[in-house]
Copies of this chain bind each other. A is one copy, B any other.
Amino acid sequence: MAAPSSDAVASSGPARIRDADRTRAEILDTAAREFAEKGFDGARVDEIAAKTRTTKRMIYYYFTNKDQLFVEVLERAYTVIRSLEQDLDVDHLDPAEAIRQLAGLTFDHHESHPDFVRLVSIENIHRAEHIARSNALSNLANPALDVLTRILARGREAGQFREDVDALDVHMAISAFCVFRTANRYTFNAIFDRDMLDPAFRDHHRRMVADMLVSYLTAR
């Protein structure tokens, strides 16, 4: 209910009372969790505020409105994933092995960032209207795509890979598999009684995407 108004909180070096960056970041964190949990329309600004050490007023102070808050949540979520993708260095590997590495990395990303997958699902229900409103996102290239393009070129030159696929096709196929496990986990489990995220399947599925793509690319 009412916050303890007893000031003089000073006591043992409390965190700075005014810290715009921290407050802003805390709102974004909480909002990301809340949006991922309940969806855009299901999430409540009041609830986000309550789960923060600040107030609803601050959300509007920093983010203008609920839509803009979601835009920045998405921007941050995509940025995290992208920065991880940039660490990928497979130019020295055999093309097939490079594909395996890329698939594995993508698999791991999605497995360890379920909230990201949910946020993307939610944004798709809204027809990507928030991404469209974000300069940061609509102009952001995907480093994984460049990597993929080079791998495919090398594979084709070596006569190993088929010619009728481009990087986006391969990226789509890998993403589809990885996204599906998380995004459709609940209905799949309800209907087929199998939890796709059960650790028992993890390694099997991880090998499966890689095998699928490599066998497809190398099929004559």
Which residues of A are in contact with B by a Cβ distance under 8 Å?
38-42, 118, 120-128, 131-132, 137-138, 140, 142, 145, 164-165, 168-169, 171-173, 175-177, 179-181, 183-192, 194, 196, 204-205, 208, 211-213, 215-216, 218-219
Most B Cβ at <10 Å: residue of A175, A191, A194, A204: A191
Interface pair A124/B186, CB less than 8 Å apart: yes
Q: Which chain B positions have C-beta within 8 A of A120?
A: 184, 187
B residues near A189, Cβ cutoff 8 Å: 128
A125 and B132 contact, CB distance less than 8 A? no
A183-B121, A184-B179, A196-B172 in contact; A128/B190 too (CB < 8 A)?
A: yes
Expressed in whole angstroms, the Cα–Cα distance for A38 and B39 within the complex equals 11
- In the assembled complex, the CB of A42 is this many whole angstroms from the nearest CB of chain B, namely 4
Contact B125 A184 (CB under 8 A): no
Residue of B nearest to A41 (CB): B41
Q: Across the interface, which residues of B come within 8 angstroms of A145, CB to CB? A: 192
Q: How far is the CA of A118 from the CA of B127 in the complex (A)?
A: 11
Query: Which 8 pairs, one residue from A and one from B, show the smallest C-beta to C-beta distance?
Result: A176-B180, A128-B186, A41-B41, A215-B219, A215-B215, A128-B190, A131-B190, A41-B42
